[in-house]
Amino acid sequence: MSKGQKGASLLDRWQSVLALAVVCFLLQSCSQDLEWTATDISGLMPNLQLELTSDEGRAVNQDEFLGKTNIVFFGYTYCPDICPTTLAKVRQAIHHLSEEQRQQLNVLFISVDPERDTPEHLKRYISSFGPEFKGLTGTQEQLKSLVRNYRVTYGYGKPDEDGNYDVSHSSAIFIFDPSGAVRLLAKDSIPTEGLAQDLERLMETS
């Protein structure tokens, strides 16, 4: 091989190394851009699908909420800690969004305690968190079918002498894009700022 050929070969190698470095940098930048505080579960669970009763006493299904980003949380109004704390965190997070973005958002609080959480009671409870919050519940058959889709459970404790009982339930926060596709799963411990950033990014890219 001549000196000229060797020089060309070395130049080709350096160009290849440089090109590879540029590709790695771009991939790393894209990966960083796509990082979420919550967990990306796109395609791992069914699209938003429900048949429930609204806090206005109307039968509703997913069509009522498509076209907006939907945050879904299962709980009950008599919950002493997880539910009010998580709903307050969600309220704080969406207050970081613009007014226009908030208008493109629903927070669906699905009560798994239909015996006590009548539509009227549910409406009084959920309306204190803001206009984006909607209360939903249903029959045991409807609720059990729904939680199976999203791999969560709920159950009832033994009533005390006054008839009060605890309800065990998931603390997960599910986030669906406007088409109804599931996108993110957040723990109730997610930082408020992180949740707000995830919502803003999802709404900008959906």
What does residue 113 show for φ and ψ, rounded to 5 degrees? Answer: -125, 65
Q: How far apart are the first and last CA of the chain?
A: 56
CA 51 to chain centroid, in Å, comes to 19
Q: Per residue in 65-121, pLDDT tens?
A: 999 999 999 999 999 999 999 999 999 999 999 999 999 999 999 999 999 999 999
Domain 39-205: homologous superfamily in CATH? Glutaredoxin (3.40.30.10)
Residues 47/181, Cβ–Cβ less than 8 Å: yes
Question: What tens digit of pLDDT does each residue of 124-161 get?
Answer: 999 999 999 999 999 999 999 999 999 999 999 999 99
Q: Determine the Cα angle at 36 with ends 30 and 42, to 5°.
A: 90
Map out the domains of the chain as residue ranges: 1-35, 39-205
